[in-house]
Amino acid sequence: MRRATMIMSGVIIVSFAVFHILHFTVQSTHPEFREFHTTLDGLPVHDVYRMVVVGFQNVWVSGFYILSVGLLCVHMSHGISSMFQSLGFMNKQTRPLLHLAALGLSAAVFAGMSSVPVAVLAGWVKWPAAG
């Protein structure tokens, strides 16, 4: 990636990290999340499932999350390739395979991380939970 692209995507990733913490951990963007409770073994616990489903029903939140995870995975792919280079594993023969491995791992992480908001937006995951 070019330097300007890395800077811009880095700003988006930092913004995502801050938003993610405010959204799901601090719950300041959606104070109603604090009221989501369920029971586990007879004890009241925070209902994370409901919080995630309700949070990702907002197309802007899901879109920003998917975009940010995509950028994070591009950074991760570059980092994995750089790690192989730093460890001395890169040479003419191994370079294509190691770049492919870095891309494959990053693509798998992207697929896994983006599958939750995609599933919520597609209606495959709903609240209230069936059952």
Write the pLDDT tens digit of every residue in 40-79: 898 888 888 988 899 899 999 999 999 999 988 988 888 8
Residue 54 lies in a domain: yes
Domain extent, residue 7, equals: 3-118
- Asked whether the beta carbons of 68 and 12 are under 8 A apart, the reply is yes
Is the bond preceding residue 128 a cis peptide, omega within 30 degrees?
yes
The fraction of the chain above a pLDDT of 70, given in percent, is 95
DSSP string, 25-91: IS--S-GGGGG-EEEETTEEEE-HHHHHHHHHTSHHHHHHHHHHHHHHHHHHHHHHHHHHHHTT--S
pLDDT of residue 119: 97
**Is it the case that residue 14 has pLDDT exceeding 60?**
yes
Domain count, the chain: 1
pLDDT of residue 1: 57
Backbone dihedral region for residue 41 (phi beyond 0: left; psi -120 to 50: alpha; all else: beta): left
CA 10 to chain centre: 14
Q: In angstroms, what CA-CA distances link 88 with 77, 82, 91, 94, 98?
A: 17, 10, 8, 10, 12
Q: Pick from 27, 8, 122: which is nearest to 75 by CA?
A: 8
pTM of this structure: 0.79
Residue 83 lies in a domain: yes
Residue 131 lies in a domain: no
- Residue 131 banded pLDDT, cuts 50, 70, 90: very low
Residue 111 lies in a domain: yes
Residue 129 lies in a domain: no
Residue 69 lies in a domain: yes
- Residue 129 banded pLDDT, cuts 50, 70, 90: low
Residue 30 lies in a domain: yes
Residue 35 lies in a domain: yes
